């Protein structure tokens, strides 16, 4: 088992008050919302657990906002009390209700068997020392579905991040959990049925995680024109602005970039460029 370093607090603290996440994260949230909408429609979901809530970059704890907007009772689990308090305040700002649970042992979640219609996580497994145990727990507490998504480690932006832009990030994660094959093997060992798998988050740019201006800086590209284009007040991308009604046009703007996402080709071809892989599991009893 790999020993992981704690994720630096500056990676998430600033976004508890600064909602400018960048174009890539806003895109990621909207395409995830579309998928969650499909799950609600197809499986008639009412109760949802997201554990843990800190996998996605940017603003913590808002991955399940769309589910709450659809009327689901949402429970959110985090092992960091400070972050969880910030997430609770953000949900209050959105006038949405959720149950917030501070819990540090993801090998044993504090919920009864079959307590939720959907138990899920987004890109958080590789931060845990016991991700296999979490998968077992998500299956235990779900009465219907388990949804798991992780970064796609074969796409070019991931490789740029690992070998060029942010070489130290591998100190904070266990990359073996970015192998969707490992996740599927764990799921099969639990005798669960995979009912859907594929890719999500397939915009026309690579997934470096970093803001565009920071990428240019690390690549040594100096251009006042590009710097002005990708920074400053004119380059503000915030899903919270959309949720709060400040930028209702944001979804339509993002939809312009979804031509790869919606292209009528097999997802296996999209996997070359996709930022995330996922599996959806049906729990059988």
Query: Which tens digit of pLDDT belongs to each residue from 196-213?
Result: 999 999 999 876 554 545
Tell me, what's the pLDDT at 284? 81
pLDDT tens digits, one per residue of 120-148: 999 999 999 999 999 999 999 999 999 99
Residue 3 inside a domain? The answer is no
Residue 137 inside a domain? The answer is yes
Residue 91 inside a domain? The answer is yes
- Beta carbons of 45 and 258 less than 8 angstroms apart: no
pLDDT over 70 (residue 238):
yes
Residue 266 inside a domain? The answer is yes
- Mean pLDDT over 243-264 rounds to 96
Number of folded domains that form the chain? 1
Looking at the chain, the whole-number percentage of residues with pLDDT higher than 70 is: 89
- In sequence order, what are the residues at sequence separation of 6 or more whose Cβ sits closer than 8 angstroms to the Cβ of residue 95? none
What's the pTM value of the predicted model, to 2 decimals?
0.91
* Token code pair at residue 277: 């892989």
Which structural domain, as residue segments, surrounds residue 194?
10-282
pLDDT tens digits, one per residue of 8-25: 898 899 999 999 998 999
- In sequence order, what are the residues at sequence separation of 6 or more whose Cβ sits closer than 8 angstroms to the Cβ of residue 59? 15, 16, 19, 21, 90, 239, 240
- Beta carbons of 137 and 192 less than 8 angstroms apart: no
Q: Which residues pair with 276 in a beta bridge?
A: 151, 200
Q: Is the dihedral of CA 156, 34, 11, 248 positive or negative?
A: positive
Residue 2 inside a domain? The answer is no
Nearest-CA neighbor of 69 among 51, 48, 52, 54? 48
| CATH at 41 | 3.40.50.150
């Amino acid at each position: 088992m790999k020993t992981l370093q704690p994720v630096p607090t500056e990676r998430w603290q600033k976004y508890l008050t600064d909602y400018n996440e960048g174009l890539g994260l806003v895109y990621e949230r909207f395409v995830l919302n579309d998928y969650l909408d499909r799950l609600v429609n197809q499986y008639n979901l009412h109760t949802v657990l997201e554990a843990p809530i800190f996998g996605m970059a940017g603003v913590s704890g808002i991955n399940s906002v769309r589910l709450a907007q659809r009327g689901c009772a949402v429970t959110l689990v985090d092992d960091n009390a400070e972050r969880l308090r910030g997430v609770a305040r953000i949900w209050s700002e959105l006038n949405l209700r959720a149950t917030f649970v501070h819990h540090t042992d993801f090998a044993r979640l504090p919920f009864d068997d079959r307590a939720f219609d959907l138990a899920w996580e987004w890109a958080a497994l590789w931060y845990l020392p016991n991700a296999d145990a979490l998968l077992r727990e998500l299956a235990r507490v779900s009465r219907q579905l388990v949804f798991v998504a992780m970064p796609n480690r074969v796409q070019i932006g991931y490789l740029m991040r690992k070998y060029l832009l942010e070489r130290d990030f591998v100190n904070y994660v266990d990359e073996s959990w970015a192998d969707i094959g490992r996740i599927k093997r764990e799921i099969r060992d639990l005798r669960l049925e995979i009912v859907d798998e594929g890719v999500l988050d397939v915009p026309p740019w690579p997934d470096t995680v970093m803001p565009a201006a920071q990428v240019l800086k690390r690549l040594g590209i100096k251009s006042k024109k590009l710097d002005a284009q990708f920074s400053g007040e004119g380059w503000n991308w915030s899903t919270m602005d959309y949720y709060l009604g400040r930028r209702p046009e944001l979804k339509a703007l993002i939809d312009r970039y979804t031509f790869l996402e919606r292209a009528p080709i097999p997802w296996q071809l999209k996997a070359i460029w996709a930022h995330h892989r996922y599996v959806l599991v049906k729990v059988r009893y």
